[in-house]
Amino acid sequence: MSDTHSPDTQNPEAQSLRAWLLTETPTSRRHAKLSALYHGWLSFRANTMAMIGLGILVALLFVALFAPLLAPHDPFEQNLGSRLLPLWTEGHVFGTDSLGRDILSRLIYGSRITLYIVALVALIAPLVGLLVGTVSGYVGGWVDTVLMRITDIFLAFPRLVLALAFVAALGAGIENAVIAISLTAWPPYARVARAETLTIRSSDYISAIKLQGAGAFRIITKHIWPLCISSLIVRVTLDMAGIILAAAGLGFLGLGAQPPSPEWGAMISEGRRFILDHWWVATVPGLAIFTVSLAFNLLGDGLRDVLDPKAGD
């Protein structure tokens, strides 16, 4: 297919770089990695829904980074004379809440809390699951039995119920909510990592590495973990929607971010008292949660098509 309408063809250097990345005969390991990344990006870019999800999340990141510049009002400023203003009121696009605080400004600042929770859980839970799953799958025996039974105990409880129990024990607060969600989110990653490890550990190249004198720690960290990463990335992205909903649920129940923090779940909790007459107070943050959760799901589907080695053509 001709690329005469592509902007790359107008630039010889860009065209040369593209040809270098698309070559089927890479000249070095670095060249092969860059070529694989570019092929993956081309495949991902062809998925319109995944690009929409990526665009929403990039916009969310932009909003969170520049919240002080984008927010029209102080999210904590109360004005009882302007309480419960409707949508599209001058100066308050999304109206105001029961204390006269601008809902749009609170949504913008609340995006920081959402990304903070997502980032911490995405760092903690997959690492714990990767460690438990690879050790369990590689060592086997009683170690595998004990670790998997512990994993089964965590999986036996609904995530939100277990998170509520941990938060009740640790105390209310956003950091404790992150710990609680992480403690309930790692078991699926452990299962994925164990399944990958069981497939990898009996392969010929692992046997060759053992003959070279490599120990279990080196084999797990240098050769098994890298092969598990792609599956975990897909799983993490798809789980982000559930993590956001769990965080919002804790905030709704008053166990997550505490007032006057503009956390979206807490905003819904406050607005539920006015849902019949002033529906926008609860609906607007609910739509924000829905949009971000949908974006993570769309992005996860796109990444699964690119990264999952078992995906069909």
Same domain, 37 and 164: no
- Pair (36, 65) in one structural domain: no
Q: Specify the pTM.
A: 0.86
Q: Domain range spanning residue 175? A: 51-307
Residue 258 sits in the same domain as residue 284: yes
Cα–Cα dist 192/190, whole Å: 5
Residue 239 · residue 247 · CB < 8 Å: no
Do you find a cis peptide bond into 262, omega within 30 degrees of 0?
no
**CATH, residue 164:** 1.10.3720.10
- For residues 99 and 178, membership in a common domain is answered with yes
Residue 286 confidence (pLDDT): 95
Residue 130's pLDDT is: 93
Note whether 36 and 141 are same-domain residues.
Answer: no
Residue 61: the pLDDT is 95
The answer to the question of residue 93 being in a domain is: yes
Residues with Cβ within 8 Å of 233's Cβ and at least 6 positions away in sequence, in order, are 303, 307
pLDDT tens per residue, range 241-293: 989 999 999 989 888 888 888 999 999 999 998 888 899 999 999 999 999 99
Q: Are residues 125 and 32 in the same domain?
A: no
Give the number of other CB atoms < 10 A from CB of residue 127.
14
User: Quick check: is 1 in a domain?
Assistant: no
25 and 115 share one domain: no
Q: Rounded to the nearest 5°, which phi and psi values hold at 17?
A: -65, -40
**Within-domain flag for 72:** yes
Distance of CA 86 to the CA centre of its chain: 33
Do 255 and 213 share a structural domain? Answer: yes
* 110 lies in the same domain as 210: yes
Q: Are 82 and 27 in contact (CB under 8 A)?
A: no
Whether residues 55 and 123 share a domain: the answer is: yes
Q: For the segment 62-85, what is each residue's pLDDT rounded down to a tens digit?
A: 999 999 999 999 999 999 889 999
**6 occurs within a structural domain:** no
- For the chain, which residues score pLDDT lower than 70? 1-11, 308-313
Residue 112 vs residues 51, 60, 67, 102, 158: alpha-carbon distances, Å: 22, 9, 8, 16, 27
Q: 285 in a domain, yes or no?
A: yes
pLDDT of residue 280: 92
Provide CB contacts within 8 A for 228, sequence distance 6+: 130, 133, 134, 192, 193, 196, 197
pLDDT at 1 (0 to 100)? 42
Within a domain: residue 4? Answer: no
56 is a domain residue? yes
Token digits of residue 23: 């070559």
Residues 137 and 155 in one domain: yes
In sequence order, what are the beta bridge partners of 92? Answer: 89
Residue 62 and residue 39 share a domain: no
Number of independent structural domains in the chain: 2
Residues in the chain: 313
For residue 10, the model assigns a pLDDT of 55
Pick from 67, 18, 8, 60: which is nearest to 244 by CA? Answer: 60
Alpha-carbon span 43 to 225, nearest angstrom: 24
Alpha carbons within 13 angstroms on the beta-carbon side of residue 168 total 7
CA-based angle 268:270:274, to the nearest 5?
95
